[in-house]
Amino acid sequence: MWVILGAQWGDEGKGKVVDYLADKAKLVIRYQGGDNAGHTVINQYGKFGMHLIPSGIFNPSAYSLIGTGTVVNPISLLKEMDQVRAANVPLDKLMISDRAHLVLPYHVALDKAEEKYRASLSGKEKIGTTLRGIGPAYADKSARWGIQCGEMLDWAHFERRLKTNLDRANRMLEHVYGEPVLDYGEMMVALEPACRAIAPFITDSFSLMRKALDENWDIILEGQLGAMRDLDWGTYPFVTSSNPIAGGACSGAGIPPSKIDQVVGVVKAYSTSVGEGPMPTELQDETGKMLRDIGGEYGVTTGRPRRCGWLDLVALRYASQLSGFNSVAITKLDVLDGFKELKMCVAYDVTRPDGSRFRTATVPAAYLMARAEPVYITMPGWQAQTTDVRTWDGLPKEAKEYLMKVEEFIGAKIKLVSVGARREQTIFV
């Protein structure tokens, strides 16, 4: 069993890695998150922006499960299913956990109202969410107001729950945020057809997992976003509302930790982030713009330009230590082709609230992370294209030195290097 997860702030290229590895899997599980982030997959079927459906859907032999730890927007999921169907990809092995929670229109309205309220304060309180309702949906789950996917299978019960929860949400929208309330009938125009369309895919995921484990299936657990967006260990409060790290895979998929064989951290050859919060290596200069333009660094879900910077080895080692990486997959190495020199962050200089300073080679809590300045080493770049390279020996000497420095610093071996978006642009080390 393999866990594939993001080792940075998200958008590391997990979709390509999972799509590649899923060829040998019998079950691929998305274990957390919602439609607030996407995986780009390019294969023989075309180019896809996957948000909820596991990237393993393109393997006709594999089951694809939207796991218990996810939150599911029925309207978004149906659109994604239609996109996959249009490419003649079968959905007969797609499943949704009956224990996964729903993202409903009132969650989206609350998300927008809360972010608007944050923006109206000092301006520093803004999270930079995708406004997809993910935070309010997880908040309802924790507060025991959430609605699980399986509840849709009893429509009368589901409608009763919806009306109760909508009334509660409308009270908050009107009396807390001063925003317009939602009408139940109008809400159901798009919601009901979507719910009824996805209902046949709902399954008892625990029984499925027991069967898979008992029969020793090859399983891939696919995470969303990255370790620095983890609710507990990321740059709080500029985080997602779930746990992308490996521990989240166990609870989100319903498996014991002892069953995990390999944890693979996916990392770009540089750093990117969408949204607010500390990012010590962010470059707000021409180099940052070059990385964004060459790498096509725009969000799959929102289209927002990503913040770009040099590779942060401190954050990467932190992610590795949190999740216990057995190996690392490096993506977008080709974006660095042509740079004369490259920098890597190997420590932070941090100013405490009292004005004193200290140097650290690990990630501090977020209130200190916001005060961190990167300490760099400089590596020589390579004046050659890597997009056509298919072997480790074929890489430029400087590129291999750059990658070996990553291995040395984080203490995990690189097993895969991506030099382009297509499947064949992959080097196994």
Active-site residues, by number, are: 11, 39
Q: Is the dihedral of CA 252, 257, 259, 261 positive or negative?
A: positive
Residue 126, exposed/middle/buried by CB under 10 A (0-12, 13-18, 19+)?
middle
231: number of Cβ within 10 Å: 18
Phi/psi of residue 110, nearest 5 degrees: -65, -40
Phi/psi of residue 118, nearest 5 degrees: -60, -45
Q: Which residue has the tokens 């997809």?
A: 132
Residues 6+ apart with CB under 8 A from 98: 148, 149, 150, 153, 202, 203, 204, 205
d(CA 271, CA 10): 9
The DSSP symbol for 32 reads S
DSSP characters over 352-401 = -TTS-EEEESSPPPHHHHTTEEEEEEEEE---S--TT--SSTTS-HHHHH
d(CA 357, CA 372): 10
Per-residue buried b or exposed e for 61-97, using 16+ beta carbons within 10 Å of the residue's own CB:
ebbbbbbbbbbbbbbbbbebbebbeeeebeeebbbbb
Q: Which residue has the tokens 């309180």?
A: 125
d(CA 381, CA 400): 10
Q: How far is the CA of 165 from the CAs of 103, 147, 172, 193, in angstroms?
A: 12, 9, 11, 19
Q: Quote helix, strand, coil % in the chain, to nearest 5.
A: 40, 25, 40
DSSP H or E segment with residue 311: strand 311-312
Contact 227, 240 (CB under 8 A): no
Interhelix angle 313-323/397-410, rounded to 10 degrees, is 50
Per-residue buried b or exposed e for 378-404, using 16+ beta carbons within 10 Å of the residue's own CB:
ebebbeeebeebeeeeebbebbbebbe
